[in-house]
Amino acid sequence: MGKAKKHLRKLSELSEKIMALGESLKQAEKDMGSGWTDEIEKRDLRNVKDRMKAVEDTLCLLQEEVGHIEGKHCKRTK
C-alpha cells in the first residue's frame, strides 16, 4: 500500500508541474497586451521555457511511473 501511495503522490506532483506550465502560458498571453512588451515578453518567454523543460522532464518521469504501475498491474492479472 505504501508503494501505491508513493506512486500516486509522484503522479500528483508531476501533474502540478504541468499545470504550472499552463499558468505561465496564460500569464504570457495576458502580458502580451501590456505596454512594456519587450521586457515582459522576454521574462515570460524565459519563464515558459524553464517550465517547458520541467514539463519535459516531468513527462519522462510520468511515463516511467505509468509503466511501473502498469507492470505491477499486469503481473497481478497473469
pLDDT at 69: 79
Query: Can you tell me the distance from the alpha carbon of 6 to that of 30, in angstroms, rounded to the nearest whole number?
Result: 36
The share of the chain scoring above pLDDT 70, in percent, equals 83
N-to-C CA span, the chain: 20
Q: Domain 2-77 belongs to what topology?
A: Methane Monooxygenase Hydroxylase; Chain G, domain 1 (1.20.58)
Where are the domains positioned within the chain?
Answer: 2-77
The pTM of the full predicted model, rounded to 2 decimals, is: 0.47
Give me 12's grid cell.
Answer: 500528483
Q: Which residues of the chain have pLDDT under 70?
A: 1, 4, 32-37, 75-78
What pLDDT does residue 76 have?
A: 56
